[in-house]
Structure 1
Amino acid sequence: MTGQGQSTAAGSAAWSTVFRHVRYENLVAGVSGGVLSNLALHPLDLVKIRFAVSDGLEVRPKYKGILHCLTTIWKAEGLRGLYQGATPNVWGAGLSWGLYFFFYNAIKSYKTEGRAEQLTPVEYLISAAEAGAMTLCITNPLWVTKTRLMLQYGGVVNPSQRQYTGMFDALVKIYKYEGVRGLYKGFVPGLFGTSHGALQFMAYEWLKLKHNKHTNRLPEAQLSTAEYISIAALSKIFAVAATYPYQVVRARLQDQHVSYGGVLDVIIKTWRKEGISGFYKGIAPNLIRVTPACCITFVVYENVSHLLCDLREKKVS
């Protein structure tokens, strides 16, 4: 066999090894969980974004708290106002969770092939970070679009700002006026944000393993809904507490009302004007939203993936 033939065969074998670990069940289950959780809790995400960019700019409405924000938006714009940015949020969340679980489980399966022991917490952390970076490369334009739509304030007329009629209109206008660079605003803090998912998945996997060991079950044994909810909530709270400031920085970079020179410029200006509390604006509505959202996502994901895997096994047998 020639050198080129050997190289081609080796490449084919490598790709065959990679694709052996890919499971469509993870993608479908992740999309299902992400879509359902974000449809249910989108208004709280809207509140979080509004508070995260609250920097005293006159164009922004002033809110006294979470409830006041929700009622103000409801009175001014109704249900439609509470679901501003819902389309890219649902698309983005569904695609992000689907791809995240898809990449993460493929990477995890690849790393555990031929090993008797489970991955270490650090290996879970690295696997989740890799999956997060790959997912963000695909989904960042949807997050920019979501932020822009959420920051269109009802009743505020500002001719200097472009208005968007929906997700696709926003995508087209951002690309037209700002290019690819505009669609990838907030990408750098988003990459730092993969540490959020990495920490969450590390904690989730570690807690599942410890719980199954404590209850004398197999490491990959299916848990009850209550157990999934408890473990998902604990892992999410841990990750949010550790990484929330990057979400504020990303939201401010993606905002159409203020122009920043980059990540460092956002950090310096936020620190000078608002201090440390500026980096935690919106954390209360964020925790109220993401904790149940995470629980819904993981419960739906685990149950749908187990159901689909059982169906696959029945077909094979």
Structure 2
Amino acid sequence: MSSAPNHGTGNVTETGSPKPVSSLFRHVKVENLVAGLSGGVVSTLVLHPLDLVKIRFAVSDGLQLRPRYNGMLHCMKSVWQQEGLRGLYQGVTPNIWGAGASWGLYFFFYNAIKGYTKEGRQTELSATEHLVSAAEAGILTLTLTNPIWVTKTRLVLQYDASPTGKQYKGMIDALVKIYRHEGVPGLYKGYVPGLFGTSHGALQFMAYEELKRDYNKYKKVPSDAKLSSLEYITMAAVSKIFAVATTYPYQVVRARLQDQHNSYNGVIDVIRRTWRNEGAVGFYKGIIPNVIRVTPACCITFVVYENVSRYLLGQNQ
């Protein structure tokens, strides 16, 4: 946990007495894990084909072995014609594991950290405190889930036209082969830009929390009052679009580092070569399918999470 003065991140109470770290465990709730996992799995099952399109555009750096697409619909149509529904859901297994685990762990850690920060205080958390809590939750989540995202990227970027064919048979096969040939560093490719990516989740959660609080204040109801599904959807969409527009380039850098068809000497090398060969536009490749995918995915996830968590925690009222 990060430390700061009273009203900062809250490792002291409003009276100034230190809070024991053990009090953090009072705020750990498995219900948040289950609710977040449910939201991540549902949204991934519905929208995985758009994720596949986004990643294929993000790594489109001109290599001959890559299929060329004229747009989102052309990409989806080409994959459908060549590989059918199975092709559109290539890499879905690690995506479900990754999205389910990531959203579950994120909500799990975030709510525990937020509860710990607020303990002993009468005041609401500030925007900065929401930002810090979400960033800490993001770092913990990424550390646990990065190997899953590497396997997802590798599976999504298997092309029939590749000289080596499809080298991975599935998620477990990919995990084993990556570990065998590249070791632990192979499973943590893209981790550094992923750390920068925690700012995406932090900005999103900060915006979401502030929108909910201000909206409930406007309605003159408690800040944690239950909202309608449409209200959750609106706030989730606005917060997600804000976060995507702010942080998208890191996703391109991360996908290119994880791609098995190209070799880079680190984050700086990816940035330098992308800028030299493709300009600023290169850092925003795939952003349209990404926005179209992540916005409804985020809305589904948050609506499922809010309703499942309230049901499990017995807070429906």
TM above 0.5, yes or no, is: yes
TM-score for the superposition, normalised by structure 2: 0.92
Q: What is the distance in 2 between the residues matched to 1:243 and 1:43? A: 22
CA shift in 2, pair 1:73/1:158, >3 Å = same
Find the counterpart in structure 2 of residue 273 from structure 1: 277
Q: Structure 2 counterpart of 1:54, which letter?
A: S
| Structure 1 residue 162: Cα displacement | 6.7
| Structure 1 residue 14: Cα displacement | 3.7
Q: What is the distance in 2 between the residues matched to 1:66 and 1:15? A: 49
Find the counterpart in structure 2 of residue 94 from structure 1: 100
| Structure 1 residue 17: Cα displacement | 1.0
| Structure 1 residue 15: Cα displacement | 5.3
CA contact (8 A) 2:94 2:148 kept: yes
Find the counterpart in structure 1 of residue 151 from structure 2: 145
Find the counterpart in structure 2 of residue 3 from structure 1: none
Asked if 1:308 is matched to 2:312, the reply is yes
| Structure 1 residue 216: Cα displacement | 0.8
Find the counterpart in structure 2 of residue 64 from structure 1: 70
Find the counterpart in structure 2 of residue 255 from structure 1: 259
Q: What is the distance in 2 between the residues matched to 1:14 and 1:257? A: 49
TM-score for the superposition, normalised by structure 1: 0.92
Asked if 1:292 is matched to 2:296, the reply is yes
What is the identity percentage for the equivalent residue pairs of Structure 1 and Structure 2? 70
Asked if 1:158 is matched to 2:158, the reply is no
Q: What is the distance in 2 between the residues matched to 1:18 and 1:269? A: 44
Q: What is the distance in 2 between the residues matched to 1:130 and 1:101? A: 11
Q: What is the distance in 2 between the residues matched to 1:28 and 1:75? A: 37
CA contact (8 A) 2:158 2:166 kept: no
Flag structure 1 segments of 5+ consecutive residues without an equivalent. 1-12
Find the counterpart in structure 2 of residue 33 from structure 1: 39
Q: What is the distance in 2 between the residues matched to 1:242 and 1:264? A: 20
Write the mapping of 1:215-230 to structure 2, written as runs, cut at 5 A: 215-230=219-234
Paired residue for 1:167, among 168, 171, 181?
Answer: 171
Find the counterpart in structure 2 of residue 193 from structure 1: 197
Structure 1 SS opposite 2:314: helix
Q: What is the distance in 2 between the residues matched to 1:126 and 1:18? A: 16
Q: Structure 2 counterpart of 1:20, which letter?
A: R
Find the counterpart in structure 1 of residue 268 from structure 2: 264
Which string of whole-angstrom CA distances, capped at 9 and with x for unpartnered residues, describes residues 188-208 of structure 1?
000000000000000000000
Q: Structure 1 counterpart of 2:123, which letter?
A: E
CA contact (8 A) 2:194 2:250 kept: yes
Structure 2 SS opposite 1:57: coil
Q: Structure 2 counterpart of 1:191, which letter?
A: L
Q: What is the distance in 1 between the residues matched to 2:139 and 2:22? A: 23
Find the counterpart in structure 2 of residue 211 from structure 1: 215
Which string of whole-angstrom CA distances, capped at 9 and with x for unpartnered residues, describes residues 67-86 of structure 1?
00000000000000000100
Asked if 1:81 is matched to 2:107, the reply is no
Which string of whole-angstrom CA distances, capped at 9 and with x for unpartnered residues, describes residues 148-186 of structure 1?
0000013x1413x77000000000000000000000000
Q: What is the distance in 1 between the residues matched to 2:196 and 2:204? A: 14
Flag structure 2 segments of 5+ consecutive residues without an equivalent. 1-18
Q: What is the distance in 2 between the residues matched to 1:89 and 1:149? A: 10
Write the mapping of 1:126-145 to structure 2, written as runs, cut at 5 A: 126-145=132-151
Q: What is the distance in 1 between the residues matched to 2:20 and 2:189? A: 35
Asked if 1:183 is matched to 2:161, the reply is no
Find the counterpart in structure 2 of residue 104 from structure 1: 110
Q: What is the distance in 1 between the residues matched to 2:20 and 2:170? A: 43
Structure 2 SS opposite 1:20: helix
| Structure 1 residue 16: Cα displacement | 3.6
Q: What is the distance in 2 between the residues matched to 1:242 and 1:61? A: 29
Q: Structure 1 counterpart of 2:228, which letter?
A: S
Runs of 4+ in 1 over 3 A off after TM superposition: 13-16
CA contact (8 A) 2:159 2:166 kept: no
